[in-house]
Amino acid sequence: MILSKFVASGALLLAAQSSIATVEQSELRDTLDVLYVQDKVSSITDSDLTIREDLGETWLNGSKEYELEVVKDIINQLGKLQLGTYVVDDSPALITNISEEITSGRQDYYILRDAHPKAHQCVNASFTVEDNNFFPDGFLGEGNIQHDAIVRFSSSNPSPDSDAVNGVRGAAVKVLMGDQTHDFVMQTHPNFPTDNVEQFSNLIKLGRTQNCLSIVPDPDNQSPWGPLFDFTYQLSKATQCLVQSDFNIFDLPETVGSIMRFQEGFEESPIKSAFDFDYFSVTPYAYKDIVFKYEVSPAICNEPNSENKSFNPSEANDTDGLEKNIQRVLGAGSACFDLNVVARPTDLSDKDAIESLITTWDEKSSHVLERVKVASIVVPQLVQGFEISPVACDEMRNNNGRVADGFKPLGSVSRGRIPIYDRLSAFRLEANEHLRNMNK
Ligand code: HEM
């Protein structure tokens, strides 16, 4: 079930699979694909991926070209997915209701993020660098320097569903430092279901296969061959769907493992306030030669907030409980977090430390890993008239590769995400603009 959720990830336009897509909708999807997805795929060049071999990074399958192809493939697949053309491009079962949504004026944009589409709220914040000995040369500035920041709280559930169901939550902190910006992109689950971009791509392809199987209708079986007919029909359908998804059957065992980890991530995520979670970078980073991961954890504010930050029973059962909780808590005062870093454990191989995400450093290392606080984040009381609008929040572009000088995201997933987020966020902004203009 979670797999089908995954398949739908970002396919917010797959609203009515059983309906017949209109020619107009299908043409619109094709136009948007050609104009805004394919140009992003072809814009990927050699310079989009770099590694620091001295810090233990290695190319997927030992080849930069190979890794670039996988990244292009993911952009193509996820871009199409966001257009609602996820499984079989010509399938009449795949409908987008773009034109209906847009022409009805119910909203002035349609294409949301492929991942973490539901923003609970974007809030202004302050980010204060703390004196620390982890980064002796400073970290986003000298100790005690304060920057403005914006936090986007989100849910990774594929469609903007109810907050009363389990789901991995996200927080992206955009630190504004004059003409430089540093984004911290985090989620509440410390592991990732795949170690590298290829395994992630296989996860998408298997999802496509499963979705394909569920939408190709079975004929009424009037054949005298009975069960044999069913068997051959199912076999040909499975083969057709596998071919269409471009999934290599030999990758099946590994990909089933990824699916199970994906599912565990959802199931293990409790339903609670955005102020009660720890948020993890999941992937490693380097600052100069120091390799680390970061985490954001709830902290006590200097100025106490009289509101209880945790969910009350009505928030816990509300479709928009996370947003209502943020409004209630920040309506009364501030909420605070610490930004902590953890150093690469000395007993892990480069592969385990840099190119592997399905288990955390804490799980892999035989040492107890120390956390060092390097910054404080304060989300102040909301001021009426200064809120960040939902559209501005959706149009924000966060990227784990948008970092201050000297920083470098490490590992296949992390370096692959940089061009993927860059191109797909550009795609959704451009395609939404196109849709808005169509309506004028
Ligand atoms: C190959 C692996 C991954 C792919 C293909 C991927 C893909 C994406 C895409 C396409 C977006 C939307 C970008 C946009 O339109 O602005 C996104 C957002 C996001 N992803 Fe990932 N992602 C990957 C790994 C991760 C990991 C490891 C984390 C863990 C921290 C993560 C956390 C998030 C969060 C929190 C957001 C929302 C950011 C925001 O609020 O703007 N993703 N991801």
> Per-residue pLDDT averaged across 207-225, rounded?
66
User: For residue 148, what are the β-bridge partners?
Assistant: 126, 176
Give the CA distances from residue 372 to residues 296, 360, 368, in Å, rounded to whole numbers and listed in that order: 11, 17, 13
On the question of pLDDT at 333 being above 90, the answer is yes
The residue to mutate among 48, 70, 78, 116, having the most atoms of ligand 1 within 8 angstroms of its beta carbon, is 116
Least confident of 20-34, 187-201, 424-438: 20-34
Cβ-based neighbours of 255, under 8 Å, separated by 6 or more: 199, 202, 203, 205, 206, 247
- pLDDT tens digit sequence for 117-137: 889 999 999 999 999 999 988
Residue that wins the pLDDT comparison between 284 and 244: 284
**Is 413 near ligand 1, meaning CB less than 6 Å away?**
yes
Contact 381, 332 (CB under 8 A): yes
**Is 425 near ligand 1, meaning CB less than 6 Å away?**
yes
Residue that wins the pLDDT comparison between 80 and 337: 337
For residue 112, how far is its CA from the centre of ligand 1 (angstroms)?
12
- pLDDT tens digit sequence for 43-66: 999 999 999 999 999 999 999 999
Mean pLDDT of the chain: 86
| Closest residue CA from atom 23 of ligand 1 | 417
State the pLDDT at residue 110: 72
**Is 262 near ligand 1, meaning CB less than 6 Å away?**
no
**Is 183 near ligand 1, meaning CB less than 6 Å away?**
no
For residue 185, how far is its CA from the centre of ligand 1 (angstroms)?
8
On the question of pLDDT at 186 being above 80, the answer is yes
On the question of pLDDT at 93 being above 70, the answer is no
**Is 81 near ligand 1, meaning CB less than 6 Å away?**
no
Split at pLDDT 50, 70, 90, the class of 4 is: very low
Contact 70, 24 (CB under 8 A): no
Contact 37, 10 (CB under 8 A): no
| Closest residue CA from atom 37 of ligand 1 | 116
**Is 118 near ligand 1, meaning CB less than 6 Å away?**
no
Residue 396: exposure state from Cβ atoms within 10 A (0-12, 13-18, ≥19):
middle
Q: Which CATH number fits domain 116-189+269-409: 2.40.180.10, 3.30.1370.10, 3.40.50.300, 3.40.640.10?
A: 2.40.180.10
**Is 111 near ligand 1, meaning CB less than 6 Å away?**
no
**Is 201 near ligand 1, meaning CB less than 6 Å away?**
no
Least confident of 81-90, 172-181, 245-254, 270-279: 81-90
- pLDDT tens digit sequence for 218-265: 656 566 666 665 677 778 878 877 877 788 889 999 999 999 999 999
For residue 203, how far is its CA from the centre of ligand 1 (angstroms)?
15
Residue that wins the pLDDT comparison between 178 and 426: 426
Domain regions of the chain by residue span:
116-189+269-409, 205-254
Alpha-carbon torsion 224, 229, 233, 239, what sign? negative
- List the alpha helices (DSSP H) in 193-226: 197-215
**Is 192 near ligand 1, meaning CB less than 6 Å away?**
yes
> Per-residue pLDDT averaged across 168-181, rounded?
95
User: For residue 175, what are the β-bridge partners?
Assistant: 149, 182
State the pLDDT at residue 157: 81
**Is 421 near ligand 1, meaning CB less than 6 Å away?**
yes
- Could you give the percent of the chain with pLDDT greater than 70? 84
Euclidean distance between the first and the last CA atom of the chain, given in angstroms as a whole number: 40
On the question of pLDDT at 87 being above 90, the answer is no
> Per-residue pLDDT averaged across 183-201, rounded?
97
State the pLDDT at residue 421: 98
Cβ-based neighbours of 433, under 8 Å, separated by 6 or more: none
- Provide the whole-model pTM: 0.90
